[in-house]
Amino acid sequence: AELTAFLGYDPYARDGWNTGNSRNGACFRKVDTQFGKIEIQVPRDRNGLFHQHTLPDYKQHADVLENMIIKLYSKGVTTREIADLIEKMYGSHYSPAQVSNISKQMIPKVEAYHKRKLSDKFFCVYLDATYIPLRRETFEREAVYIAIGIKPNGHKEVIDYCIAPNENIEVWTELL
């Protein structure tokens, strides 16, 4: 359907003759999806100008798997555990390095979250820090500082957070 829209005529239609571009068979690609590996047929045009939009060129994995990896990583699952889970659940092999590269997509979103404009006034603000095990150079417990605001209508919102090796006044000052 995409190739038909691109060329402007149906397959085997006479109005497509001598237009300068025509169908030129198809190639086959294997794509990892949540349903396992599937083989898809990608149509081609004679001039090589057609590019499908349903699945970008050279993409071998469906976004569903990448979204699953990001969600698991955000919950604190290690890259090796994620690679093993994805292989057991979906039959798709991801190396821990691939999982790490996919999870790096979250960095711009986190930076945008920290720089966002606050939505409203807050009736009350709670400040707290808790120690959780984080994986950086070593597996050590670090302080996660969090500021939670309660709006006049009763809804809670995480205003901001930051991570530091230990709890001290300088980090609280910076967060505020």
Q: Specify the pTM.
A: 0.49
Bridge partners (DSSP) listed for residue 162: 145
The H-or-E segment that residue 170 falls in is helix 169-175
In a domain, 56, yes or no: no
> Can you tell me whether residue 128 is helix, strand or coil?
strand
Closest CA to 106 of 159, 54, 66: 66
pLDDT given at position 59: 63
User: Can you tell me the mean pLDDT for 127-152?
Assistant: 81
In a domain, 54, yes or no: no
Do 145 and 96 lie in a common domain?
no
Q: Give the least confident one: 29-38, 116-125, 146-155.
A: 29-38
Do 73 and 96 lie in a common domain?
yes
Total domains, the chain: 3
Bridge partners (DSSP) listed for residue 134: 140
Do 121 and 170 lie in a common domain?
yes
Q: List the domain range (segments joined by +) for residue 97.
A: 63-111
In a domain, 57, yes or no: no
Q: Please identify, among 73, 90, 111, the residue that sits at the C-terminal boundary of a domain.
A: 111
Bridge partners (DSSP) listed for residue 129: 145
Percent of the chain with pLDDT over 70: 86
Do 141 and 124 lie in a common domain?
yes
Separation CA 43–CA 52 (nearest Å): 8
Over the stretch 36-72, which tens digit does the pLDDT of each residue have? 777 888 888 888 888 777 766 666 666 677 777 878 8
In a domain, 90, yes or no: yes
Calculated CA dihedral for residues 156, 161, 165, 168, nearest 10 degrees: -80
User: Can you tell me the mean pLDDT for 59-88?
Assistant: 76
pLDDT given at position 4: 83
Long-range contacts of 140-148 (CB under 8 A, 24+ apart): 140/165, 142/166, 143/167, 143/171, 145/171, 145/172, 145/175, 147/175, 147/176
> Can you tell me whether residue 136 is helix, strand or coil?
coil
pLDDT given at position 12: 79
In a domain, 51, yes or no: no
Residue with tokens 């149509």: 43
